[in-house]
């Protein structure tokens, strides 16, 4: 089944170029385009893509950050991959807080963008390498700054293991193979983890794991 993608960018030539690139892939299909956040929100609810490839800045209309927040509240099953020219930690953290599943620079090679789309479609988060380093550095500084451990203590040993694998970017299928469970069972565990920790999106879960120091960064 093809990955259904909606492209949102304020430049027509960029929308056309991205559509042509994605159109060359046998496992992807562009189901619509939008010129700003408002149109992206409306079209996403209408055509229900798997992923919205969203520009961060789309003047004079609604920006991608605002649209991302609204869309994740209205349709949490739709993943959002932010495509932007801003290589800045501030933008990175704001994007993750808004519920996006990834962040790719417009200067990235075509193959990196396609790889990011496939990664997000498998349920994993995608960050370009330097962004990952910034994220890890920022949140490791907060690990010991008073976060309540009670929420983590209510997780079972199995749930803690799955939480770590999810945060490391493994897909549900890959996790199922590692822990020798069915994909459906892994999905159920994930739902229980999210409920217990009161989290709504995978990026929130990744941030939680980073704050808890659950990941190895050797």
pLDDT at position 90 over 90: no
- Residue 217 domain-assigned (yes or no): no
122 and 40 within one domain: yes
Residue 201: which CATH number?
A: 1.10.10.10
Domain of 39, in residue numbers: 3-132
Confidence of residue 143 (pLDDT cuts 50, 70, 90): very low
- Residue 183 domain-assigned (yes or no): yes
Mapped to the 3 state alphabet, what secondary structure does 14-59 carry?
HHHHHHHHHHCCCCEEEEEEECCHHHHHHHHHHHCCCEEEEECCCC
Q: How far is CA 109 from CA 5, 113, 128, 163, 214, in A?
A: 19, 7, 11, 31, 31
Share of the chain above pLDDT 70, in %: 84
**Mean pLDDT score, 145-162:** 68
pLDDT at position 71 over 90: yes
8 three-state secondary structure: strand
Task: State how many domains the chain has.
Answer: 2
- Residues 108 and 53 sit within 8 Å (Cβ to Cβ): no
Mean pLDDT of the chain: 83
Q: What is the pLDDT of residues 16-40, one digit of tens each?
A: 999 999 999 999 999 999 999 999 9
- Residues 20 and 113 sit within 8 Å (Cβ to Cβ): no
- Looking at per-residue confidence, does 209 or 186 come out higher? 186
114 and 150 within one domain: no
- Residue 40 domain-assigned (yes or no): yes
- Residue 107 domain-assigned (yes or no): yes
* Model pLDDT, residue 157: 79
Domain end among 78, 110, 132: 132
146 and 113 within one domain: no
Written as six digits, the tokens of 116 are 């990011």
Written as six digits, the tokens of 168 are 């490391």
């Amino acid at each position: 089944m093809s990955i259904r993608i909606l492209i949102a960018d304020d430049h027509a030539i960029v929308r056309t170029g991205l559509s042509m690139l994605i159109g060359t892939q046998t496992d992807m299909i562009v189901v619509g385009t939008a010129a700003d956040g408002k149109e992206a929100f409306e079209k996403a609810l209408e055509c229900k893509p798997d992923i919205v490839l969203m520009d961060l800045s789309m003047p004079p209309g609604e920006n991608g950050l605002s649209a991302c927040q609204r869309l994740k509240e209205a349709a949490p099953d739709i993943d959002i991959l932010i495509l932007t020219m801003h290589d800045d930690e501030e933008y990175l953290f704001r994007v993750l807080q808004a519920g996006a599943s990834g962040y790719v620079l417009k200067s990235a090679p075509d193959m990196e963008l396609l790889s990011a789309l496939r990664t997000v479609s498998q349920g994993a988060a995608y960050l370009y390498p330097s962004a990952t380093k910034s994220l890890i550095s920022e949140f490791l500084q907060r690990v010991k700054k008073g976060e309540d451990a009670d929420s983590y203590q209510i997780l079972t040993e199995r749930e803690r293991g799955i939480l770590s694998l999810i945060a490391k970017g493994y897909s549900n299928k890959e996790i199922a193979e590692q822990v020798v469970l069915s994909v459906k069972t892994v999905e159920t565990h994930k739902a229980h983890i999210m409920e217990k920790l009161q989290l709504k999106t995978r990026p929130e879960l990744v941030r939680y794991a980073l704050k808890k120091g659950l990941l190895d960064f050797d």
